[in-house]
Structure 1
Amino acid sequence: MSSTDQGRSGRIFARDLFDGTGGPALRDRIVHFDGGRITEIRPASARDDAPEVDILAPGFIDMQINGAADTQFNFDPSAAALRRIAHGSREGGTAYILPTFITAAGTDYARALDAVHSAVEEGVPGILGLHLEGPFLSHLRPGIHDPVAIRQMDESDLDRLTAADVGTVLLTLAPEALPAGMLKRLTQAGLRVFAGHTEATADQIAQAEAEGLVGVTHLFNAMSQMTGRAPGVVGAAFASETLFAGIIADGHHVDWRNIAVAARLMPDRLCLVTDAMLTLAGNLTQFELHGEVITQSGGRLTNAAGTLAGAHVSMIECVRNMHDHTGVPLERIIAMASGNPARALGLERSVGTISEGARASFTCLTGDLGVAGVIVDGRQEL
């Protein structure tokens, strides 16, 4: 894109501009940015000379990514690893990530906090904070997480998490497993708490929502399901007016019909996530997790028993899958990859939007939904 030597100023001519709100595309727009911020959006004219893209979207936000480029955050919780993972995610059009650290023994998650703090201090592009998925989960819904390491949160955990200086912290936990009052203390301290790997009832989710619960992690997977007289976590998410939900649109984790239902019921609250592992944008097709061999075959990551172990899918593949299988308009799908996750994280004023004053981060797409480039805070990263 046209830019200064510093790479934080420039302009783009968008044939179609999606602003991240879910509204229809704006045709033939010029977007100016300076100092890493969007300064002006206006109709294009015949006199304009700017690099052209078919589709300009807000920089995609992946709230749940475990690894990429042959690098797994749990295996290497370091700033250097986060740089590789963020870079690998760009092939799928992702501008911002919440690197995800899953259940590990004791307080091993503190290493992830330190790594993200270092990455932010070093200015690694596109790191919004940290997603901790566990260890405060339900033993009834461990999924691929190590059941031995799943445990209850205690006061020292609360102190460590609420004092973290890593940007946005998304914490996935089983609300029914928390000591009384702890969820409210977490949310009052600013953590974005999601329910996941949980056997909670709909009533327990409603109570958690009253205490600040923001959403649910990988909807349909590793949670109580919706039945006629027991709505479970899935039904609670559908019935809520405020809960967000991440969903893995890879065709393996959730049936396309269920994804389409979720998209129709909660178009402004559904967030595309990859749950990607180190095989994304990498060369490895096999790795070990908790002593089990995980194999990638046909875009599916499983252990020997067939249990899903994260995903092998990028954000742009999720976008295309939604477009191909759900009948949801493209403007809504773009919002599910940008504006919706930004609001889920409480960051909607700065990311997930193409609006004046917002951070100049864009996912540039071709007309057939290929990735043409990624700009993060005014700098071209792909």
Structure 2
Amino acid sequence: MHSTDPGATRIVARQLYDGVDQGLRPDCILEIAQGRITQIRAATAQDAHDPGVREFDLVSPGFIDLQINGAGDTQFNFEPDVPALDRIAAGARRGGTAYILPTFITAHGQDYLRAIAAVRDAISDGVAGILGVHLEGPFLSHNRPGIHDPTAIRALNDQDIEALTSADAGVVLLTVAPETLPDGALARLTAADIVVFAGHTAASADQIATAEAEGLTGVTHLFNAMSQITGREPGVVGATFASHSLFAGIIADGHHVDWRNVAIAARLMPDRLCLVTDAMLTLAGEATEFDLHGVKITLEDGRLANAEGRLAGAHISMIDSVRNMITHAQCSVPQALRMATINPARSLGMAAEVGTLGTGRCATLTCLSNDLEVEAVMIDGKFPDETMT
């Protein structure tokens, strides 16, 4: 007999990916109380028939998106406030994402302080799924601006370091061009538990190695807006592949990175590659165009770009990214799920809290059908979107 708390939520997983094992565990039941998993055990024939039990074909740790600019017709840069974060998180959940780092891209001066304040307030207000904030810029390279406003890109200074290290807004992920930072700045940031990624950077492989020694954790959207591998200079991409510890976000939408390069990255760094959406407001929304820094961005055939064809974020969900890794990068289901769960958790230094499933762990789940459609997302033992269940 199995003892069961009558107040517990019970979920039957016909297949369970726990973020720890390399494969899928068949026919498990998860018992959940007070936002935690109290037990995972083999399911019996009776379990699925018990009142109140929910059954799903495949249950995974909740997906974690390190880089999402917007969703649900809401862009974080345009509306850095709590209601906007609630809408973005809800839009992300439609694609299976449980936790997000809402991403605020390059803006003038210390405009990023508004993003930090919004995230701090959202966490305080209990908005579901907000882990912290991702600040992508403004401390980037003028040689690799991408779609960022080049007039707002600038150098990091002591005032910025003070603001960032006192943010108190969950985990802070900061994307910088490390070659532009003042001496000692990166070490000061990482000493204060800021997670620093390299992105929009023309750094050499040696400069990345130096930054890694000072605490650099990873790179933002691998292959995009960074120096590439050449015969005599590995660049940021080569330095990331050669590293034993650097993580990398990758946009697996078929537009940002050739599928062959995605597959190479998956083979070389299966435990360090993190799926990110880089999604804009069109995700889970109705808009098909918007203005960014006065530039018109249009969605066409799943691709967001300006009139010259320069990419401007992405229009893809996490579950689409997972399916693409299976279809185009020859990943198994567990390998693809790893890149959406435990890998991003580890990149943030949060593997003890999120990204895996086990007794005593946080009950945050992404629940899928056999054909990898999202059926429900649970966050801290609750389903924020009851219509999904």
Q: Give the TM-score band, short-chain normalised.
A: over 0.9
In structure 1, the partner of 2:301 is 298
Distance 2:325 2:8 in 1: 33
Match of 1:57 in 2: 60
- 1:365 paired with 2:364, answer no
Matched with 1:47 is: 46
Q: Cα distance, 1:356 vs. partner?
A: 1.5
Structure 2: 5+ residue stretches without partners: none
1:128 aligned onto 2:131: yes
**How far apart are 1:47 and its partner, in Å?**
3.0
**2:8 and 2:250 mapped to 1: Cα distance?**
34
Q: State yes or no: 1:181 paired with 2:184.
A: yes
User: How far apart are the structure 2 equivalents of 1:125 and 1:134?
Assistant: 25
Q: Please report how far the alpha carbon of residue 266 of structure 1 lies from its aligned counterpart in structure 2 after TM superposition.
A: 0.1
For residue 259 of structure 2, what is the aligned residue in structure 1? Answer: 256
Residue in 2 aligned with 1:83?
A: 86
Look up the match of 1:25.
Answer: 24
1:141 aligned onto 2:144: yes
Answer yes or no: is 1:279 the counterpart of 2:270. Answer: no
**Shift, 1:350, TM fit:** 1.3
User: What is aligned with 2:201?
Assistant: 198
Partner in structure 2 of residue 13 of structure 1: 12
Q: 4+ runs of 1 displaced by more than 6 Å?
A: none
| In structure 2, distance between residues paired with 1:16 and 1:377 | 21
Contact 1:33 1:39 survives alignment (8 Å): yes
Match in the other structure for 2:76: 73
The separation in 2 between residues aligned to 1:14 and 1:272, in whole angstroms, is: 24
Deviation string 1:66-114 (CA, Å, 9 cap, x unpaired) is 0000000000000110000000111100000000000000000000011
Distance in 2 (alpha carbons) for counterparts of 1:47 and 1:308 = 52
User: How far apart, CA to CA, are the structure 1 residues paired with 2:336 and 2:358?
Assistant: 18
Q: Is the 8 A contact 1:243 1:269 kept in 2?
A: yes
Counterpart for residue 163 of structure 1: 166
Q: 2:325 aligns with which of 318, 322, 326?
A: 322
Other structure's SS at 2:94 match: helix
Distance 1:9 1:111 in 2: 39
Q: Deviations over 1:183-205 (max 9, x none)?
A: 00000100000000000000000
Q: 1:88 is paired with a residue of what secondary structure?
A: helix
Q: Secondary structure at the match of 2:175?
A: strand
Q: SS of the residue aligned with 1:144?
A: coil
Q: Which residue of 2 aligns with 1:38?
A: 37
**Paired AA for residue 151 in structure 1:** R
Hey, what does 1:376 align to over in structure 2? 379
Identity value in percent: 63
Structure 2 residue matching 1:92: 3-state secondary structure? coil
Report the residue type matching 2:25 in the other structure. L
Deviations 1:293-341 (A, max 9, x none): 0000000000011100000000000011111111111101001000100
For the pair 1:340 / 2:343, whether they are aligned, the reply is yes
> Which residue type is aligned with residue 231 of structure 1?
P
94, 106, 111: which is aligned to 1:103? 106
Aligned-residue CA RMSD (Å) = 1.3
- Please report how far the alpha carbon of residue 42 of structure 1 lies from its aligned counterpart in structure 2 after TM superposition: 0.8
Q: Which residue of 2 aligns with 1:150?
A: 153
Kindly indicate whether the alpha-carbon contact (under 8 Å) linking 1:22 and 1:334 is maintained by their aligned counterparts in 2.
no
Which segments of 5 or more consecutive residues in structure 1 lack a partner in the other structure? none
